[in-house]
């Protein structure tokens, strides 16, 4: 403790503030618990305003009705926590929706795309997805929803996504996508509907190794594609042979 006090006493305030401003939220909170000096510095408005901007760059201050009045009343730490709780509540809505739609650990693509559209309409940021959808405790299909959203809607670079997947220990989790296409015409006759199946890891999608499958997921069941299902990968993932047309199910 004496060593820590010696370090903080030798640090100019602007350098200490720069150190605190370069940390992630969890580290800022941990540093703030070390001493009264760090608690006051890590609770300052400039630190939390910077954290707010970094986490929600699309929202920024323009989305706050009157940032000067609000920051005076509750401080930027309070504004950040309020926004965090709001996003956590929204994430819970999407998770519950997906859980209701999941049947035997599989989901139809229309519900899958609806969940992604909800993330878009709720203006989730990359850090929000990491916190609420990249958990190994969630069904891997929910992990995939967050991953797909980051790639196709947020345009997050692959290296950042891989770093997040690895830190959350979900990069090797596997998903199975099955889709059925309308049979082709041959010599005046329509052949049987075609079934396709692909098993891949989240890392494969992040590194663009499965762009064809991502395209199927992105388009959904349109044109010649009759049905698309996403499920947790099994030890052996083989195409389904269905007895009736999938449009009748």
Per-residue pLDDT reduced to its tens digit, 118-144: 999 998 999 999 999 999 999 999 999
Question: Mean pLDDT in the chain?
Answer: 82
HSE (side-chain half, CA atoms, 13 Å) at 246: 21
pLDDT for the residue numbered 245: 45
pLDDT for the residue numbered 85: 94
Confidence of residue 241 (pLDDT cuts 50, 70, 90): very low
pLDDT for the residue numbered 63: 53
β partners of residue 230: 107, 177
Winning range, highest mean pLDDT, from 5-9, 25-29, 57-61, 81-85: 81-85
Q: Which two tokens stand for residue 71?
A: 């920051």
DSSP reduced 3-state for 239: coil
**Considering only 35-39, 76-80, 123-127, 194-198, which range has the smallest mean pLDDT?**
35-39
pLDDT of 71 strictly over 60: no
pLDDT for the residue numbered 65: 53
The beta-carbon contacts of 181-187 under 8 Å, at least 24 apart in sequence, are 181/224, 181/225, 181/226, 182/224, 182/225, 182/226
- The mean per-residue pLDDT over the stretch 55-68 comes to 63
Q: Which residues contact 8 (CB under 8 A, 6 or more apart)?
A: 16, 35, 37, 38
Instruction: Answer for the pair 128, 55: CB distance below 8 angstroms, yes or no.
Output: yes
N residues, the chain: 249
Q: Write out 155-216 in H/E/C secondary structure.
A: CCCHHHHHHHHHHCCCCCCEEEEEEEECCCEECCEECCCEEEEEEEEHHHHHCCCCHHHHHH
pLDDT for the residue numbered 61: 54
- Phi (first) and psi of residue 66, to 5 degrees: -145, 85
Q: Where are the domains of the chain?
A: 2-66, 81-248
pLDDT of 218 strictly over 70: yes
pLDDT of 243 strictly over 70: no
Confidence of residue 192 (pLDDT cuts 50, 70, 90): confident
* 170 vs 101: which has the higher pLDDT: 170
Winning range, highest mean pLDDT, from 101-105, 157-161, 177-181, 183-187: 157-161
Winning range, highest mean pLDDT, from 96-110, 144-158, 235-249: 144-158
* 21 vs 166: which has the higher pLDDT: 166
- Phi (first) and psi of residue 23, to 5 degrees: -95, 160
How far is the C-alpha of 91 from the C-alpha of 205, rounded, in Å?
Answer: 22
Per-residue pLDDT reduced to its tens digit, 135-169: 999 999 999 999 999 999 999 999 999 999 999 99
Confidence of residue 115 (pLDDT cuts 50, 70, 90): very high
For tokens 């692959």, the residue is 158
**Considering only 3-17, 107-121, 149-163, which range has the smallest mean pLDDT?**
3-17
């Amino acid at each position: 403790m004496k060593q820590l006090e010696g370090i903080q006493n030798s640090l100019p305030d602007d350098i200490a503030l720069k150190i605190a401003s370069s940390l992630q939220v969890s580290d800022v909170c941990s540093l703030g618990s070390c001493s009264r000096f760090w608690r006051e510095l890590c609770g300052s408005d400039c630190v939390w305003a910077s954290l707010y901007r970094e986490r929600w760059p699309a929202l920024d201050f323009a989305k706050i009705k009157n940032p000067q009045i609000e920051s005076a009343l509750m401080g930027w730490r309070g504004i950040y926590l309020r926004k965090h709780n709001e996003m956590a509540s929204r994430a819970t809505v999407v998770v519950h929706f997906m859980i209701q739609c999941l049947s035997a650990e599989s989901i139809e693509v229309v519900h899958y795309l609806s969940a992604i559209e909800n993330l878009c309409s709720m203006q989730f940021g990359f850090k929000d997805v990491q916190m609420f959808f990249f958990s190994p405790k969630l069904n891997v299909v929910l992990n995939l929803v967050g991953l797909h959203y980051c790639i196709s809607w947020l345009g997050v670079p692959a290296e950042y996504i891989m770093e997040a997947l690895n830190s959350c220990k979900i990069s090797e989790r596997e998903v199975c996508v099955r889709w059925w296409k309308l049979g082709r015409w041959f010599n005046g006759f329509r052949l049987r509907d075609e079934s396709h199946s692909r098993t891949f890891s989240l890392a494969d999608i992040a590194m663009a190794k499965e762009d064809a499958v991502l395209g199927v997921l992105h388009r959904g069941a349109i044109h010649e594609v009759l049905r698309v299902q996403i499920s947790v990968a099994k030890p052996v993932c083989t195409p389904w042979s269905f007895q009736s047309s999938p449009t009748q199910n």
